[in-house]
Amino acid sequence: MHLNRPIYGVDEAGRGPLAGPVYAACVRLDARRVIEGLADSKQLSVRRRESLAEQIKRKAAAWAVASASVAEIDRLNILQASLLAMRRAIQQLVLSEDALVLIDGKHAPQLNSEVETIVKGDCLVAEISAASILAKTARDAEMIRLHQLYPVYGFDQHKGYPTRAHLDAIRLYGITDVHRHSFSPCRPGNQS
């Protein structure tokens, strides 16, 4: 497809949850160190995802993970915060002038490199699949950490998504500073 150019894949995790940061990752794979089984992170079991994340960190030519905070999500909106997290991940790596950055979805952050967006890229492009796995495992780890601070919300189970259990916990206990106050169920006055 893009012969002899360094390809970087980028994806995010955590646009839909009511709590926690949004994460993004950028990955450049090494063709000499094949990683079997790369796929959209949502299609993998937790164990498989974590195993692949370790392999990606060991075998990829380059990788980086970054996030945008709940405060940034509330200030910018979730799309802009996702793009910010992507830009932060990409900027951790030194990209050559001929690098091509492939981004999952329809939206891309402003970059100095050539960028291509690919809808369903996490299913179609190995580099984006790898990025989706790193972003998802990093975000899940953060939600498990937040569960230790706020155990009544069950972040370790639903990772902040609007499940019935999470919405019930919000009604019972209110919202925390790790909830996204700009999201409808977390807006002050919407918990009754």
Annotated binding site for a divalent metal cation: 11-12, 104
**Is 110 within 8 Å of 90 (Cβ atoms)?**
no
| CA separation for the pair 115, 155 (Å, rounded) | 34
Buried b (16+ CB within 10 A) or exposed e, 67-105: bbebebbbeeebeebbbbbbbbbbeebebeeebbbbbbb
Binding-site positions: 11-12, 104
Amino acid letter, residue 56: I
Amino acid letter, residue 9: G
**Token duo for residue 134:** 């790193």
Strand ranges (DSSP E) for 49-158?
62-68, 100-104, 114-118
Cα torsion 29, 31, 32, 33: sign: positive
Q: What is the radius of gyration, based on Cα positions, of the chain?
A: 17
